Amino acid sequence: KKFANELLAAAQQALCADPAVTMELGQGIETGGVYVSSAAIGKFEGRPVDQLVLQFQINGGNAWAQGIAYGLRDSESGELRLVS
C-alpha cells in the first residue's frame, strides 16, 4: 500500500510537470482511484527490486483520463524510481 501511494504521488508530480498534460487536462491534476495493479519482485541492474504497475484515473479541471505508472523500489535502500 505504501509503495502504491508513493508511486501515485510520483506519477502525479510527473503529470503536473508535463505541459502537454496540463494543456489537455488543465491545472490541478490529481491522481484518482486505482483500477488495476500488478506487483512482482525481481532484479534491476543487479539489485533486488519490487516492481509495481498501476492503472489509475487522472482528474483535472472538467476532464479526466486514465494513466498507467510503472515503478521500481530498491528492496535494500527503499529508493523509488518512476520508470514510465
Q: In the predicted model, what is the mean pLDDT of residues 21-43? A: 89
pLDDT of residue 66: 93
**What is the chain's length?**
84
- Model confidence, pTM: 0.86
Could you read off the pLDDT of 45-83 as tens digits, one per residue?
Answer: 888 999 999 999 999 877 889 999 999 999 888 899 999
Half-sphere exposure of 80 (CA within 13 A, CB side): 17
Residues above pLDDT 70, as percent of the chain: 100
**48-75 as b/e: b if 16+ CB within 10 A:** ebbbbbbebebbbeeeeeebebebbbee
Give the C-alpha separation, 25 to 82, whole Å.
Answer: 21
What is the residue whose three cell numbers read 491534476? 29
